[in-house]
Amino acid sequence: MSITFPRKFAIGGVPVTNIKEGLKSLSRTSDPGSFVGLRSVFPTLIHGSHALEIAGLLGLLDDERSDLTPTGRAVAHSRSVVKTELTKARAVLDQLLERFEAINADPDRLISINRVYLYGSVMRGDPLVGDIDLEIEASRGPAYINDFQGYLRDCRSFVRRFAPNYVPPVYMAESDKAMDHLVFGQRRAPILKGAVINGRNLSTIPAPCQLIYTIQNGIDRDAPILTTHPDYDPTIETSHEIPHLASIDVPQFGIPAPVDARFLAKFQHSGRVVAHDFASPTSNLLAWLLRMHERQSSTLKVHVSSETLDPAFARGCGLADDLSPKGTIVLTAETQRSKLRSFMKIERRVDMIDGMLTVDLKVCDLATLQRRRTNEAHADCLAVVAATIHVADRFHAVALNKAGSNYPIEATVTTARSVPDEIGPLIQQFGSKISGSLDS
């Protein structure tokens, strides 16, 4: 039993197929940066950041965002399918059960169908189902009980009727191929992807099930629903890494929080913002803006903790212990040639004010160390980075808002008195350009 989603199903505006690819990348690397930076899936880091936040809200990631939870592993291995009406699924199941009766009626049969357990959505009677979850217990036919080599020989002969050039790749492969063909026919119906022959998985999970067929009593569509498989033992530890889940609960999204600002540095501990991480400047507006406003070779960083701040920056921007990935952060810029060093301290909030969902960015401080005036090139670079984070917060809030209560929404940029007046409009100008590139 695995999780299935309807085709093109989305959560919070993110297609489940995209979330799955991001989860698989993170599971391989233990790096959330590989999730948000998956260029084949997410057009920009902003899209990837939003998807990562959705994965966190669904409980698919651990607290450090470096590994998947059991539910996350189940979603990573889920399938997107066309949902089928329950009546049609039951018709397919009835045909399969009648096929089993015909197999067992043959005294010279190659295999016997001993027991069939039904579980999952069809057993529950869901109006729409992804597939039919079955555990089919089969064995050699009565003539082969004491003749294993004869059984393999006749399995190979049977397989070669529909696959003349078949050569078993491994020992006993011919028996599996023959059994699959006898049970499902030459082409298994897509809705039967959840049916397993001799998988023995159902006995390892605490899932309700229904014994709908036995070789002794035939078909029993009204068999009682059992709490678990008769062989299930909760004291036995299994090695199943991927839990067998039928569905996940999609929560009601309330007031969203800002995104984790580390997405801009692809979650690297140094916090370094690198223009080429965003693709070519000719195809990515953020990279183009950074290149245009750098003017000199600069190092840009995002700091969500005082631990990564240089002591000079920590003294310059005041108390830095209140920094957090989704709250107050510090952006820094350094020019190696002239030893210029600048910082911008920003505070981010998402609040409900008078029935309006407000996404606010406040520039608390902006300064160039060892200078009376802020370096213009650094200020422009830091404004671009701040605008990108603000756009990501708004993008995330708008998507969750559409999936939830759909309140009116407003994005605002405010500045402290010590910050030059032109910084607020500059961030809004950059933000408009970046938002426009996301919509195009």
125 in Cβ contact with 86 (< 8 Å): yes
Q: Please tell me the predicted confidence (pLDDT) of residue 130.
A: 83
Cβ contact 180:173 at 8 Å? no
Alpha carbon 39 to its chain's center: 15
State yes or no: pLDDT of 142 exceeds 90.
Answer: yes
Burial 331-368 (b: 16+ CB within 10 A, else e): bbbbbeeeebbbbbbbbbbbeeeeeebbbbbbbbbbbb
Q: Given this model, what pLDDT does residue 338 score?
A: 63
User: Token digits for 397?
Assistant: 């809030």
Please give the span between the terminal C-alpha atoms of the chain, in angstroms, as a whole number.
Answer: 40
The Cβ of residue 259 has, within 10 Å, a number of other Cβ atoms equal to 26
Residue type, 215: I
Answer whether residue 220 shows pLDDT above 70: yes
Under the banding of pLDDT at 50, 70 and 90, the label for residue 143 is very high
Architecture of domain 261-439: 3-Layer(aba) Sandwich (3.40)
368 CA to centre of own chain: 41
Write down the pTM of the prediction: 0.73
CA angle, 42 then 36 then 245, to 5°: 90
Mean residue pLDDT of the chain comes to 86
**Residue 1's pLDDT is what?**
55
Q: Is the pLDDT of residue 279 over 60?
A: no
Q: What is the mean pLDDT of residues 207-230?
A: 94
Q: Work out the average pLDDT over 415-427.
A: 92
Strand duo 111-119 + 209-214: pairing: antiparallel
- Report d(CA 410, CA 433) in Å as an integer: 17
The reported pLDDT for the residue numbered 295 is 52
Domain spans of the chain? 4-80, 84-226, 261-439
The confidence score (pLDDT) of residue 297 equals 53
pLDDT of 27 reads: 92
pLDDT at residue 240 tops 60: no
Residue 319: what pLDDT?
56
Residue type (1 letter), 372: R
Compute the residue count for the chain. Answer: 440
Mean pLDDT of 104-124: 94
**Above 80 in pLDDT, residue 124?**
yes
| pLDDT tens-digit readout, 307-328 | 888 777 777 666 566 889 999 9
Cα–Cα distance between 113 and 134 in angstroms, integer?
A: 13
Spatial CA neighbour of 19 closest among 54, 63, 65, 68: 54
- Indicate whether 345 pLDDT > 90: yes
Which of the four pLDDT bands, split at 50, 70 and 90, describes residue 33? very high
Which residues sit opposite 11 in a β-bridge?
Answer: 14
